Amino acid sequence: MDLALLFTIFIASILCFLIFGYVKPKRNVVPEATGSWPIIGHLHLLAGSQVPHQLLGSMADKFGSIFIIKLGVRRVLVVNSYEMARECLTTNDRVFANRPKALVSELMGYNYANFGLAPYGPYWRHIRKIIVLELTSHHRRQMLADIRVSEVKSSIIDMYNTWVRNKGSSEMVMVDMKKWFGNLIVNIVARMMFGDYFSSGEQTNDQFLKAIRRFIDMLGVFVPSDVVPWLRWLDLGGYEKMMKKTAIEMDEVFNGWLEDHRKKINSTSTPHVDDDSKEQPVFMAALLSRVQEEVKEELYGFNTDDIVKATCLAIFSAATDTTIVTLTWALALLINNPLVLKRAQKELESHVGRERKVEESDMNNLVYLQAIIKETMRLYPAAPLSVPHESTEDCRVGGYTVPKGTQLWVNIWKIHHDPQIWPDPFEFQPDRFLTSHKEIDVKGRHFELIPFGSGRRICMGMSIALEVVQLILANIIHGFEFQNPSNEPIDMTESPGLVNHKASPLELLVAPRLAPDVYGILT
C-alpha cells in the first residue's frame, strides 16, 4: 500500500474520530407528559381543584409509571410504581438523597439548617446521628414512654369529664376528634422536645401553632419563584412576605424555649434532664449540649442556636401533623366501617378486658388493630407525595437516563392504590394484612407500602409515630363508643398540601363504654 493511500486513510480516520468520536449517543430519556405550557411547564395542571397526588396518579394511567413534568425551569421525575420507587431509593438512593433548593427552606428553614430540608452531606449526617442518639433510638423511646402514657391517660380522663358535664338524655356528647387528637399530639411532642405542656387557648401557644400550620402549608405550595427564579423580585402571591413573617413568629417561641434550657444547662450537671419531669430526657437541651460540643460553625456555616431551632422545627412540625392526620383518618374509617370497629373492640376485650385501660405492653397482641393502622396508612398516607428529592449526578431509572439536578417525586398514594398489588385498592380491608399481605410492613423495606418513605431520607420518627398511634387508637376505641351524628357516611375529602389532611372536622357523638374507675374516676 503506497504512502499516499496510507496518509489518506490516516487523515480520514482522524476526521471520523473528530466527527463521530465526540458525539454522545442519544440518551434514552424519560417520557415527558403532554400539556406543558411555555415558561411554566405543567404548573397550571397542579393549580386545579384535584389534589396533586391523585392528578399525577391519573397522569400515570396515561403516560406510564415513570414520566417527567416540567415546573418552570425544573424537571421533575414522577414515579408511580413500587418497582421504580425501589430503584430510586435503593440502587440510586445516594444519588437522590439531596433536597432541592426552595424559598421555604431558605426563609423558614434557617437557611437550610433544617435537617429535613438540608442538602445531603456531612452536616445532614451529623445532625441525623444526634437525633437518633437523643430522640429516636430504642433506649430514648423507652425513656419517653411515661410521657406518652401520661398524656393519653390525661386526655382520656378529659374526654370522660366532658361527657359527664355535657351529656343529655341521649347519653352522648359531641366531640371534634380532629381537634382532640391535635391537642393530645401537640402536648406529647412538646413535652418530649421541650419538657413543657402546651395548653391550647393561650394566645402565644395558639399563634405558634398557627405559624407551624402555615410553615407546613408553605412546604406543599408551588411557589412561582421556585420554578421561575427571576420572578422572585415580584413576590407573586405574597409568599416571601408571608414566609418571613411566619419565620419571625416561630423563631420568637423557639428562642424562649432555647434560653430556658440554656439557663438550665448552666445550672445543672445533667443538661438533658428536666428537673420537673421525673428525670425525663428533654430533647432541646440534649441537642443544645451536643451541638455546642460537637458541631463547629466553621465546618457547616450555621451557628449553634440556628441549628437547634431548625432541628426542633423540623421534628415538631413533622411529628405533630402527620400523626394527627393518621389518627383522624383511622377513626373516620372505623366509623364508616362499624363491623371493623366492633371487631377491633372485641380484640381489645379479649386481650385487655373491661376492667383496666390499654397499656403499651398490650400492643404486640393487638394484631387486628395493627392491620387497621396499616390499612389506614395505605389508603390515606400522611404524605401522599414524598418530600422532593434531587439527583446529584446523572443516573439510570427504569432504563432511562435521568440528568443531574432532576427532582424526584414518589407518588406514594398511587403505589398504595395499585390494583395489581392491592385488590379492591379503594376499599378499607384490614384483613388483607392478616392474610395475603401479612408479611408487608410500613418500615421502608417493602416498597408496596411506604407511608414513611424509604432509603436515607426515610422518616426518622417512624418508630415513635407507630407507638403513639397504636396507643391512642387502642385507648379511645377501647374506652368509648362513637357514632356519626349524620345518617351519611363521614366525608373523606382530602385537602391539597404536603400533608394529607381531612378537609372537614371529625365531629362524633361519644360515650364511655367502661366503668368510671377504669378511666381513673373515683365514684
Region 307-325: mean pLDDT is 96
22, part of any domain = no
Question: 388-394: which pairs have CB atoms within 8 A and are 24 or more residues apart?
Answer: 388/76, 388/99, 388/100, 389/88, 389/96, 389/97, 389/98, 389/99, 389/100, 389/457, 390/96, 390/98, 390/99, 390/100, 391/92, 391/95, 391/96, 391/98, 392/94, 392/95, 392/97, 392/98, 392/120, 393/95
CATH number at residue 473: 1.10.630.10
Q: How confident is residue 279, by pLDDT bands cut at 50, 70 and 90?
A: low
Q: Would you say residue 433 has pLDDT above 80? A: yes
Region 273-302: mean pLDDT is 78
Residue 353's region, left for phi above 0, alpha for psi from -120 to 50, else beta, is left
224, part of any domain = yes
Q: Would you say residue 6 has pLDDT above 50? A: no
Q: How confident is residue 276, by pLDDT bands cut at 50, 70 and 90?
A: very low
Range of the domain at 366: 36-519
Position 16 scores a pLDDT of 52
Radius of gyration of the chain (CA): 26
10, part of any domain = no
179, part of any domain = yes
Give whichever of 79-83, 293-297, 519-523 has the largest mean pLDDT.
79-83
Lowest mean pLDDT among 21-25, 86-90, 258-262: 21-25
Region 472-482: mean pLDDT is 98
Q: Domain total for the chain? A: 1
Position 521 scores a pLDDT of 78
Position 520 scores a pLDDT of 83
9, part of any domain = no
Q: How confident is residue 297, by pLDDT bands cut at 50, 70 and 90?
A: confident
| Selected residue with higher pLDDT from 68 and 19 | 68
* pLDDT tens sequence across 385-418: 999 999 999 999 999 999 999 999 999 999 999 9
Per the listing, cell 418530649 goes with 192
Position 13 scores a pLDDT of 52
Position 523 scores a pLDDT of 59
Region 174-187: mean pLDDT is 96
Position 170 scores a pLDDT of 80
Region 502-523: mean pLDDT is 91
Q: What is the pTM of this model?
A: 0.92
Question: 239-248: which pairs have CB atoms within 8 A and are 24 or more residues apart?
Answer: 239/103, 240/103, 240/107, 242/214, 242/218, 243/103, 243/104, 243/107, 243/108, 243/218, 244/107, 246/108, 246/211, 246/214, 246/215, 246/218, 247/107, 247/108
84, part of any domain = yes
Position 522 scores a pLDDT of 66
Task: Work out the mean pLDDT of the chain and round it to a whole number.
Answer: 91
208, part of any domain = yes
| Selected residue with higher pLDDT from 107 and 205 | 107
Consult the annotation and say whether 312 binds a ligand: no
216, part of any domain = yes
